[in-house]
Structure 1
């Protein structure tokens, strides 16, 4: 696959500096767009978890220290993009999106995504920080408010708090974020080279190469040889009155210190007379070689019954799926969706009682609605239930430690979405 990507890049380079010395008819001019979404969120979380978390961190709002029940959550971006056509038929463009407030974790990169692209009869080649090909073509369960799976307020762990001990999909050693989506987004916005083919009879192919799959904005060649390779296929076609969307993808990450992560995804949507039924699945296999230099896995797993000899390999990974049904007519849309994941998790306690642990599990049930006031102006609403449980919960003695391994609760939110 790397050869295919390099060949595609070479093809673009030859076309750009060919014998005809292609020139742009006009310089690139940027247009401004983006979106602003704000939510008022209410949540009722487990009181035992709230007490345990506050007791563990040494304080809170009084002795019981309940977690906040109401919050304001935002997701905002300003986007700059532009393109121009060369006289040899190629198009060249750029895209930059800037986070514009609403994040309360104080860790979000100001530049959300930035890349350049070249497009021709061969397809489109991207270079920069964007999703990999498998994520770009991924199809998942529908949600009327665009508030489920990747980018959702609740599924992003912003409504019901995810316990630190619970591991979700798209995580690996050293990474704590749980994205709760079947899309393969483990490499996040790391710099990459991505190719997307032209659509042929509804079929589109994609591929990505990520030189460093662990970090974003990494300019240092260094010694970290973590890499990722991905391939994907998407299909979109209307057959009579039925709309069909299909996707399949695979990403292999070769990580440092004997760790590799293989992820496979698939999704489908069928639409008819305003109804859309869809779902998707991801399988992740995270293999680690116990060679003595894999710091976290060796320290966390060997006491839990994992062989300690050099060259020993063991696996922790997981799987997840979502399914949803949406109905849209005129300015209205309603939907119901369900998400479930189960992972082996990164076990942080080495006590003997944790040797026979279960999987970490995450569940979301969500109903959403949308009403379009005008083009680009929508009223949104979502209600749902979320549940997180660590695989260590049943093996843990009673008390605050046990209570901090499990949380669940109900949430409701209403919001306004503006696109410009």
Structure 2
């Protein structure tokens, strides 16, 4: 009888281990689809022939499960599945929130991005610091300084690939981290993030493998308010990380600053954002040299009911050791029409250039004109 009881107890224990209680989370499905026809006219290097017109998409599916416990604690899990880009899993993290604030745990954008204030855009998919649709490309040879090659990868700058420190400290590189956001008090909110490890993605100034950094810290703050009928938003963030021992000898730490503001009055808005990224990489092109990338954007927009019109100007300078600066700019004019909840038709024209005597030849400038026409559906 004792053996039977022991066997029964073992079976119950095994059943409890094999079938743990499941969290009762309310599951929501969402995401977005951005589809465009993209036409580009640009300067081409000798012997190259780029496509002038392509269809490009940026699609994500979002899964969110959330519940609020009797003690007031909200617990959730969020997963983003990236369809077009190389990484199948874009973000996946758990979050906990209450009157004390919110904690994110997992693969999610850090504090420096989450509270960032962006400038108004002609089309938020086409212009600004985080572009997802663009088509122009310059062949800068050994630097791999290509402008997206009609690709879809989000970029923190005009280039479509992530440069040096941007790969570590920009919002485009999601890594596993802890993030704490304070509750909003009189329009003010602050945040801090920590990641024990941060990968430096390939791109402009490809870093010699192994390309990794550690101890990525981010802090940020933002204030939203109103004065005399004018809506005001101000924000700033700072990121820093240390080069690992395994990184090629001579590599330095990476850090970045971002500052932004936005003013809104009636249907009009105006704002700007500034991003400075500093790094000391060891690359096939620069050994132990400093790389300082400064990007700033100004934008203005008019929104009236379903109609949107906007214009923005982006200026970027890459200061590279022992190499003339790479100067790039882009002006974008565009608009949109909301034909249903979360559904818009969009169109924009962008033009600009990038110049560097070493990479393009003395007195040469890489000029481009880009036309985008498409739809954005948020669901």
TM-score by length of 1: 0.72
Would you say 1:163 and 2:129 are equivalent positions?
no
- Which sections of structure 1, spanning at least 5 residues, go unmatched? 1-23, 55-65, 217-221, 289-293, 303-312, 348-354
2:77 and 2:101 mapped to 1: Cα distance? 16
2:165 and 2:243 mapped to 1: Cα distance? 22
- Please state whether the residue corresponding to 1:200 is helix, strand or coil: coil
2:32 maps to: 35
> CA 1:26–1:85 in 2, change beyond 3 Å: closer, same or farther?
farther
Task: Say which of 60, 77, 96 aligns to 1:118.
Answer: 96
> CA 1:136–1:265 in 2, change beyond 3 Å: closer, same or farther?
same
1:149 maps to: 128
**Shift >6 Å, 4+ stretches:** 167-171
What are the residue-to-residue correspondences of 1:395-414 with 2, within 5 Å? 396=361, 407-414=366-373
TM-score by length of 2: 0.79
* Contact kept in structure 2, 1:361 and 1:391, CA below 8 Å: no
Aligned alpha-carbon RMSD (Å) = 3.1
What are the residue-to-residue correspondences of 1:122-137 with 2, within 5 Å? 122-137=100-115
2:286 and 2:22 mapped to 1: Cα distance? 61
Q: Deviations over 1:9-67 (max 9, x none)?
A: xxxxxxxxxxxxxxx997112111111110011111114x2x34x2xxxxxxxxxxx31
Would you say 1:90 and 2:73 are equivalent positions?
yes
2:27 and 2:164 mapped to 1: Cα distance? 32
1:392 maps to: 358
What are the residue-to-residue correspondences of 1:315-326 with 2, within 5 Å? 315-326=290-301
Task: Say which of 196, 218, 221 aligns to 2:181.
Answer: 196
- How far residue 231 of structure 1 moved from its aligned partner, in angstroms, is 0.3
- How far residue 135 of structure 1 moved from its aligned partner, in angstroms, is 0.7
What are the residue-to-residue correspondences of 1:267-346 with 2, within 5 Å? 267-287=260-280, 294=282, 296=283, 300-301=285-286, 315-345=290-320
> CA 1:69–1:170 in 2, change beyond 3 Å: closer, same or farther?
closer
- More displaced, 161-170 or 231-240? 161-170
* Contact kept in structure 1, 2:269 and 2:300, CA below 8 Å: yes
- How far residue 284 of structure 1 moved from its aligned partner, in angstroms, is 2.1
> CA 1:179–1:29 in 2, change beyond 3 Å: closer, same or farther?
farther
Q: More strand per residue: 1 or 2?
A: 2
1:244 maps to: 232
* Contact kept in structure 1, 2:164 and 2:291, CA below 8 Å: no
- Which sections of structure 2, spanning at least 5 residues, go unmatched? 1-20, 148-154, 202-209
- Please state whether the residue corresponding to 1:259 is helix, strand or coil: coil
Q: Deviations over 1:273-306 (max 9, x none)?
A: 1110000111222246xxxxx5x2xx6446xxxx
Q: How many residues in Structure 1 have an aligned counterpart in Structure 2?
A: 332
1:225 and 1:146 mapped to 2: Cα distance? 30
1:380 maps to: 346
